Structure 1
Amino acid sequence: MTVRPDQSRTPVMADVAALAGVSHQTVSRVVNGLPHVGEATRQRVLAAIEELDYRPNTAARTLVTRRSSIIGIISTETGLYGPNSIHRTVEEAAREAGYFAGSVGLKTITADGLAAAVDHLRRQSVEGIVMIAAQHEALDLVRRSDPGVPLVVVEGDLSRATFAVGVDQHRGAVIATQHLVDLGRRRIAHVSGPHGWTEAEARAQGWSDTVATAGLQPGPLLEGDWTAERGYALGLELAVLRDVDAVFVANDQMAIGVLRALQESGLSVPDDVSVVGFDDSPEAGYLIPPLTTVHQDFPEVGRRAIAVLHAAIVGGTEDVDRLVEPTLVVRASTTPRAPRDRPSGGAR
């Protein structure tokens, strides 16, 4: 016979045991993921936990398992779609894997700032840390530091950290540029991200490699800063170059600015100039015209980051590919090249 607890108070482990008709020790083994519990008994305990909306005492569980089930996340406060999306999906993946996640945001990554962030998280008894940083300086600091717990770098150069997970940025740039080549575009410009960002460099290299492989003369390379404002300014510069018939832009925000600049200059997108972005941000499909762009599977990045970190924490080996393959989403901002005269100078 099962006994239901008083509904007016917060349920405790003894209430779960009474409702499931098992011992306190059996409930403890189920809650802490320990072996030697029959499947039927485990399911009965889990059903009682759900019915009572029981929340295990984290401190007590730590004493039993000698694990805190807490991880830390360190990120730079960029406000950019990519890093913010990765942060969110890492947190979601951590929860799905049974971890609590605490975060520290840094305006810039410095040696002192990184050390302070790690110290703050260590005082929270984290078992591991995920760091979201894409600048060379940050990755160099990570490589030289010893956080004392496993640390996984996300979104950076996978060759510069012991544990790293990210989207194949070079591959993404290759498929974006090859798409333009296949459409018959012959003078393909690139609006890059800022100097010092690993993603910007990988995307620029992918563009350069693909243009060279196609036997084409590279179009101009203009350095951006990830913002639509800078994309607009560089788009105006590109608009006066009569031979440029395509632009690969290193992120969707800058592509928004490029699209406006080209259209204000009297050029047709995609006919006169085809445009490809990178990220597949939520607004990309609603621009005029809808933007062809490279899709990054951020939820998969989060899951793989947590899989790698969990394996490092428990001393196992993860069975995941650390590079996530990007895909191209083709929309109306690109079209095959047709012989036509470009407008002279553009209307501005």
Structure 2
Amino acid sequence: MVDVAKRAGVAHVTVSRVLNDPDSVRPATRERVEQAIAELGYQRNDMARALKRGRSGMLGVIIAGAELFELPRVLLGVEEAAHAAGYWVSMASWQSGGLEQLNATIDRLVGQAAEGIAVIADRSVAARALERVGARIPLSVVMSGDVPNPAIGSVELDQELGARLATRHLLELGHAQVVHISGRLGTFDAQARVRGWTAEMQASGTALPRMLEGDFTARSGYRAGMALASEPQPPTAVFAGNDQMVIGLLAAFAEQELRVPQDVSVVGFDDMAGADYFVPALTTVRQDFRQLGRRSIEVLLELIGGAEARHHLIAPSLVVRRSTAAPLR
């Protein structure tokens, strides 16, 4: 700034005024300063300015887990919310699952003057470690399931509600039974969707039909579809634990000449890219991952502002397309 002032023939405080309140400087003086800035290639140090004010304007984001679903959309929401609040984001990765490495990653972001940290986590990787992480800096977590750590705010999509919406839709169409093809039952996502399906079936007073376990892949959906199609009386409604399994399910039903939705209605979960181009277009549960990212930053900023940590649920929505209809039999 001193160099710019010398080149322009003004005091360095005038340079500061041009940068921060240009309308307060006479046009001719402002033009000389701006020309000197351009000639010298001057860029002010926003980090130094922020630290002088007692805040960095930076938030840390830790990505924990290698197979995080829809991560790009979550990160887009994170960036949008941070930018809207006047913050920039520094990102780090933590993949080992060890508490020591997690603390080291947090320390690195703290050393960069992060005002708070959002962790985007695969539950299987992060849950136990996050339960033991201290509260030396505001922390919010995006993951499936609550984090039983009173110092950490958490955000998740309400998958149990999503499963209830899918099941309720089929029951309200008049289907007497809704068969569920679950995802891999060792995962939190599959368990939450099973709980939602079970709760809605029980609330309707309908006996719970048998459940088929898949593993979230199209192949497992195909196997389940072949098993259902071979039954003497195939079900009229199926709720699959994700859209990927529906790909295999529809292939099996087509091979066995079961029409969707005339013979059997199908609902998926996730509203994956291209779900509206399935044949028929798929009725499914939509999770707003962009909103999930935005909310994680909003929660983090609330914590920075002194709010108490708590668990936040984001409601999904049901997208009704052509794969569901009232039963013909």
TM range (shorter): 0.7 to 0.9
Partner SS state of residue 163, structure 1: strand
- Aligned-partner Cα distance in 1 for 2:55–2:226: 56
* Corresponding residue of 2:51: 63
Distance 1:150 1:69 in 2: 14
Paired residue for 1:122? 110
Asked if the contact 1:136/1:196 (under 8 Å) is kept, the reply is no
Q: Which has the higher contact order (CA 8 A, sep 6+)?
A: 2
Are residue 186 (structure 1) and residue 176 (structure 2) matched? Answer: yes
Q: 1:23 to 1:186 in 2, by over 3 A?
A: farther
Q: Secondary structure at the match of 1:300?
A: helix
Give SS of 1:266's match: coil
TM-score when normalising by structure 2 = 0.79
Give yes or no for contact 1:295–1:327 (8 Å, CA) kept in 2: yes
What SS does structure 2 have at the residue aligned with 1:158?
coil
Report the Cα distance in structure 1 between the residues aligned to 2:101 and 2:180, rounded to whole angstroms.
34
Root-mean-square deviation (CA, aligned residues, Å) is 3.6
1:306 aligns with 2:319: no
Find 2:188's aligned residue among 186, 198, 211: 198
Stretches of structure 2 that go unaligned for 5 or more consecutive residues are 25-29
SS at match of 2:112: coil
Asked if the contact 2:65/2:122 (under 8 Å) is kept, the reply is no
Alpha carbons 1:246, 1:274 under 8 Å: kept: yes
Q: Give deviations 1:139-189, integer Å, cap 9, x for gaps.
A: 232121126211111132236343012222221111110001111222312
Identity score, percent: 39
* Farther-moved stretch of structure 1 (77-86 vs 191-200): 77-86
Question: Are 1:155 and 2:146 an aligned pair?
Answer: no
Change (3 A) 1:73 1:263: farther
1:277 alignment partner, one of 268, 271, 274: 268
2:245 corresponds to 1:254: yes
Q: Partners of 1:181 and 1:108 in 2: how far apart? A: 44
For residue 277 of structure 1, give the secondary structure of its aligned residue in structure 2: strand
Distance in 2 between residues matched to 1:262 and 1:80, nearest whole Å:
30
| Contact 1:118 1:147 (8 Å CA) reproduced | no
Matched residue, 1:333: 323
Pick closer, same or farther for the CA change 1:91–1:258 going to 2, 3 Å: farther
Question: Kindly tell me: are residues 331 and 110 of structure 1, through their superposed partners in 2, closer, same or farther at Cα, counting changes over 3 Å?
Answer: farther
Three-state SS of the structure 2 residue aligned to 1:98 is coil
> Shift of the alpha carbon at 1:307?
1.1
CA distance in 1, matches of 2:317, 2:139: 28
Alpha-carbon spacing, 1:214–1:192, altered in 2? closer, same or farther (3 Å): same
- What's 1:173 paired with? 163
Change in CA separation of 1:72 and 1:188 when aligned onto 2, cut-off 3 Å: same
What is the aligned partner in structure 2 of residue 5 from structure 1?
none
The gaps in structure 1 that reach 5 residues or longer are: 1-9, 31-36, 340-348
**In the aligned structure 2, how far is the partner of 1:134 from the partner of 1:77?**
5
How far off its partner does 1:232 sit? 2.7
* Matched residue type, 1:261: A
Displacement of 1:207 in angstroms is 0.3
- Match for residue 101 of structure 1? 89
**What is the TM-score normalised by the length of structure 1?**
0.75
The match for 1:86 is: 74
Equivalent position SS for 1:179: helix
Shift of 1:87: 3.0
User: Which amino acid in 2 is paired with 1:60?
Assistant: A
Whole-angstrom distance in 1 between the partners of 2:283 and 2:115: 41
Q: Is the contact between residue 222 and residue 248 of structure 2 (CA under 8 Å) also seen in structure 1?
A: yes
**Alignment length, in residue pairs?**
309
- Matched-pair contact (CA < 8 Å) for 1:139–1:156: no
